[in-house]
Structure 1
């Protein structure tokens, strides 16, 4: 049974298109895998067997997609209970969700930003506490990329800090999302990283994005990680210390060896700090 991840560890997103490559990967190519339970709950047959093979071999981190922690609809308790069973069955060592919402009188099939207000802090923090109670574990919430900014009574930094404190939960710091938002909304990415509470950071994400224009970046998870994002990861490690770090890639997959090369770059960045 896998019980915890060391701060100096590297992970890769477990995607169905990569199952065969992940199973055949050389020993030591990565330290753990991350999947979205929402995409695997109830899946059996060959795919379920492959998942079980991998989670027996590697520690598993889980990253939810559908809880809609900030949404107006009641929390999906049945999904939370199914997620808890999944996490327990596969001995998941971390669980995270997005600090956003994805349903409002039905599923919206997108991760939408919350208004940065005191009311939203209280609303989402209460829902996170409920989710943690049902799941029987602490969760981490991820800072999300967004393109239209809803009402901002608070700064994004203050909003995130207030949610973390009131919910007593952790932070999954997505470095690429910080970079994308910093370009799109014209703020200093390093100042944002610096302002995050070190003691709350449970893990990092890193991913590629699409350059729509010099002042518009789209978070796609379908491209190689850009140099500026690697530099921001270095800065994050230097300021906050090492944490388990996942390379996310959701589509437009390159040859598997190229993904492992990016995982190796995470390891190199961690080694420079260590």
Structure 2
């Protein structure tokens, strides 16, 4: 059974990257400059030999944080017992201190949507998400973190997004993976103040942060995970605000396309995040 106190007492692991195969060689060439890696949990489910070997190799050098894609917490569909079992098994195998997934839905009545889809901000949706999150967290045996997503459109609802997120994480007694790039994008695209959003969040529940570079199309920002965060000073300012008000367990830099030829670009983002958190560089291995 996990409780709020378990969320608040999680370890501080530092700053790292979302593991992608395209970055593997560079990651291993810069082990001493990366504190922690996040792995896409669904890629390691079913324990195929290749996945087992990759996970073991990574775990020899880094703490690993499993990040899921298919919890489907907001759907009317019942919980997928296989997904829950595999997530719990992977979490145990990695000795991970927490498990994260998205506050959204990804399929309905067995139909795969193919993307992280926003939920209607209603009391009924809150109740559904809370019930699923509590059951999933109990099965995991470690705290569950739920992540705020970007949205291309607004659904009819009964409350603001920040009220919805707060109601779910407090009702489920779980943690929050706060994606500050997603917050920046939504705040711009839907014309609200990101600092007002943060002031109304239970920041004491923030365990992990996501940061990524985005692109602008016309008058809207798009969550592309394709550029350096150095190009977005507003996101660094949001991290500074949260770091002064939360005990952050990990900051993960995400990159999913347009991988830099010079890995120094990603290392620079890691160093900037580290400096904002006020944490020293990772000790070199001898």
Asked if Structure 1 and Structure 2 have the same fold, meaning a TM-score greater than 0.5 normalized by the shorter chain, the answer is yes
Distance 1:84 1:45 in 2: 18
Q: Is the 8 Å Cα contact of residues 72 and 103 (structure 1) preserved in structure 2?
A: no
Taking a change above 3 Å as real, the CA distance of residues 26 and 165 of structure 1, as seen in their structure-2 partners, is: closer
Check if 1:251 corresponds to 2:257. Answer: yes
Q: Is the 8 Å Cα contact of residues 194 and 239 (structure 1) preserved in structure 2?
A: no
Taking a change above 3 Å as real, the CA distance of residues 48 and 241 of structure 1, as seen in their structure-2 partners, is: closer
Shift of 1:79: 1.3
Check if 1:74 corresponds to 2:52. Answer: no
Distance 2:52 2:257 in 1: 21
Listed one character per residue, the Cα deviations across residues 54-111 of structure 1 (whole Å, up to 9, x for unaligned) are 1122111111101111012221111110111111111112211101000012211110
Count of aligned pairs: 268
Structure 1 partner of 2:128: 123
Check if 1:90 corresponds to 2:94. Answer: yes
Shift of 1:204: 1.0
Name the SS for the 1:131 alignment partner.
helix
Structure 2 partner of 1:53: 57
Query: What's the RMSD between the two structures over aligned residues?
Result: 1.9
Mean alpha-carbon deviation: is it higher for 141-150 or for 17-26? 17-26
Tell me which of 264, 268, 277 is aligned to 1:270: 277
Distance 1:117 1:46 in 2: 42
Name the SS for the 2:216 alignment partner.
strand
Check if 1:65 corresponds to 2:72. Answer: no
TM-score of the two chains, using structure 2 as the length reference: 0.88
In structure 1, the gaps of 5 or more residues are: none
Distance 1:202 1:240 in 2: 8
Shift of 1:17: 1.4
The within-5 A match list for 1:124-163 is: 124-163=129-168
Listed one character per residue, the Cα deviations across residues 27-67 of structure 1 (whole Å, up to 9, x for unaligned) are 2x111100111012235455542331111221111111011
Distance 1:26 1:237 in 2: 25
Shift of 1:241: 4.7
Structure 2 partner of 1:232: 238
Taking a change above 3 Å as real, the CA distance of residues 79 and 46 of structure 1, as seen in their structure-2 partners, is: closer
Q: Is the 8 Å Cα contact of residues 19 and 50 (structure 1) preserved in structure 2?
A: no
Distance 1:26 1:113 in 2: 36
Taking a change above 3 Å as real, the CA distance of residues 166 and 78 of structure 1, as seen in their structure-2 partners, is: same
Structure 1 partner of 2:205: 200
Q: Is the 8 Å Cα contact of residues 83 and 135 (structure 1) preserved in structure 2?
A: yes
Distance 2:263 2:25 in 1: 10
